[in-house]
Structure 1
Amino acid sequence: MKKFLTSSRPKQVLKNFIIFVPYFFTIEKWVLLSPEKNLLLLSNMMLTFLSFTAISIIGYQINDFMDKEYDKNHPLKKNRPIVSKKISITEMILFIFTLILISIICSYAVGINITYLIISYFLLSLGYSRIFKKIPIIDILCICFFYILRMLAGTYSIEFEVSIWLYILTFFASLFIILIKRFAESKKNLDVRYPKVSIFYSLGFMPKIIKLSLFINIFVYLVYCISETLSNERNFYFFISFFIFSFGIYRYYQLSSQSNLGESPEDVIMDRYLISSVLIYLITLILVSEINL
């Protein structure tokens, strides 16, 4: 059982928490609902989370299987169960089949739109493993769309609309993190599979692109705050979240630049200051929503 848990890459499950983002940005609408409706929507979010967790794990299994010959020479990836043959092909197929059943059942229980998004995610994952990850820029754009699909699923699961600026921010924030990851990997020559991709992300202009991406994220969030205020969706206190967001994303940039943790986003976000800023940010959203009522 342990080998399947390891092969599932538990740390990567953190990516699927983006499904809960729409909840925190619509919390002022939730307090107006009955307890029964709240419980239903919360259960929908949990099922959506489980569905995307299962389908993303499938992507990891397929990716490990397709790259196992290359990953044998990787200092870390060579220990993955599929690469090291701790999981046989038969076991992998049975594991994938089980995950497909879990994902489809959970998504269909929420709604057909979630099922469509799950299928889209799976097809995009296959395309990424076979084609897109070999092409610079296209590879990171593909990963950005994975995050957009998760965000859409979170929105569909709670039946509330969120601002288009949140989707734009999701795109640029994921782009920022992935650029840092690719640049860090290229510096350490961790990608022996596709040298052209590694060479592209090691080019001298990449740090400037990453810094530009940082400022774009801060700017987009500021525009989002202005948009929400002008449309009377939020009050002026919502701008407090802008400063917390700016600190958090700059802290991520600082850590990944100075401590060479960029290739492992899940390790970067364990920083106590980042965790504190996220908690303060969520508390601020809740308090601002209460004031807005």
Structure 2
Amino acid sequence: MTKIKNYLALIRVHQWFKNILILLPVITTQKNIGSETYINLIIIFISFSLASSLVYVFNDFFDKNEDIKHPFKKTKPIANKSINLNEVIIIFIIIFLLLLFIITQFGMKSENTYLILGYLFLSFIYTVLVKKIIFFDVLLVASFYVFRIKCGVNEIDEDINNLIYLQIYTAAIFILLCKRFSDLNFSNNIYKKYFNILKFSIDFILLGNIIIYFLIINSEYLYEKYGGKPYYFTVLFVIISFLRYRHYTLKNKNTLDPVKILFKSKVLILSNFLWIVSIFLLNNML
């Protein structure tokens, strides 16, 4: 059981939750989505999850010497040597072959295949070259969240307003900047000497996210597609979520990853749930 637990920790199964963004277009669309589309979305979700696991394995192997010195990262399976090099290679190959099988044998749209392969390539570039380039690292990783939602959009064959892509991108930047801030306690953190700039950037991006959301709910795109529905009250849930996330990460500085924070804060869980339910009801029932 310990080995299995280590393997699951290596491939970061809990991080697969991020790929739920692939399903977000289902909430926002008014189209009748058939069972085949849902199956295809699940296949994309699994494919992206396998791709992200490949990235985590590669990243942990590449950073193992630095992780050993980190008070939290030293518990990773590769860093604490609970998994040996041969096992890492075998797991990596198995996941890669499984991913290759799925994207070639299950009729995935070519656009989504390119997005997943592009995500893999850019993630490896990030690990090897970009990770140490301040702020550019955040901009690159944030783009991967746009890749996820674009996969879902491609599958339901209904494009969305560019402001929504921008919202996803800037929200990801906000979360990543908060993560960088929570890591400032560690001496090898490249953002340490940019404390004031980092804190200002977090607040600036937070404000930008709220403004973008206002623009979306007042856009001609939304009016033409859904009519003059009262989306304005959903702004409250968005503001609460951003402010709570900011407070949680900046005050605690506990280096928890974003997924764990989302499930740890009851306020975040409630506000996000109410936002999702509100959007779904407004789009489909009112």
Q: Fold-level match, TM-score > 0.5?
A: yes
Deviates more, 1:90-99 or 1:104-113: 104-113
Closer, same or farther in 2 for the Cα pair 1:53/1:229, shift >3 Å? closer
2:153 is aligned with 1:155: yes
User: What is the letter of the counterpart of residue 172 of structure 2?
Assistant: S
Give the TM-score normalised by structure 1: 0.89
Q: 1:261 & 1:20 partners in 2: Cα distance?
A: 30
- Residues 180, 263 of structure 1: 8 Å contact kept: no
- Residues 78, 84 of structure 1: 8 Å contact kept: yes
Closer, same or farther in 2 for the Cα pair 1:105/1:156, shift >3 Å? farther
Structure 1 unaligned spans of 5+: none
Choose from 17, 35, 48 the match for 1:52. Answer: 48
Where does residue 12 of structure 2 map in the other structure? Answer: 9
Q: CA deviation at 1:139?
A: 0.6
2:201 is aligned with 1:205: no
CA deviation map 1:195-214 (0-9, x unaligned):
5x2334x4223222211111
Q: CA deviation at 1:157?
A: 2.2
User: What is the letter of the counterpart of residue 163 of structure 1?
Assistant: N
Where does residue 285 of structure 1 map in the other structure? Answer: 279
Closer, same or farther in 2 for the Cα pair 1:232/1:80, shift >3 Å? closer
When the two structures are aligned, how many residues end up with a matched partner?
Answer: 279
Structure 2 unaligned spans of 5+: none
CA deviation map 1:26-57 (0-9, x unaligned):
1x212xx5xxxx21111111111110110111
Q: CA deviation at 1:254?
A: 2.2
Q: 1:232 & 1:20 partners in 2: Cα distance?
A: 19
User: What is the letter of the counterpart of residue 239 of structure 1?
Assistant: Y
Choose from 221, 240, 248 the match for 2:241. Answer: 248
Choose from 213, 230, 252 the match for 1:221. Answer: 213
Q: 2:254 & 2:82 partners in 1: Cα distance?
A: 28
CA deviation map 1:159-213 (0-9, x unaligned):
2212211110011000000111101101x116x3xx5x2334x422322221111
Closer, same or farther in 2 for the Cα pair 1:284/1:255, shift >3 Å? same
Closer, same or farther in 2 for the Cα pair 1:241/1:105, shift >3 Å? farther
Deviates more, 1:140-149 or 1:283-292: 283-292
Give the TM-score normalised by structure 2: 0.91
2:17 is aligned with 1:18: no
Where does residue 31 of structure 2 map in the other structure? Answer: 29
Q: CA RMSD in A?
A: 1.8
2:179 is aligned with 1:177: no
Q: CA deviation at 1:249?
A: 1.6
Identical counterparts, % of pairs: 26
Q: 1:198 & 1:248 partners in 2: Cα distance?
A: 25
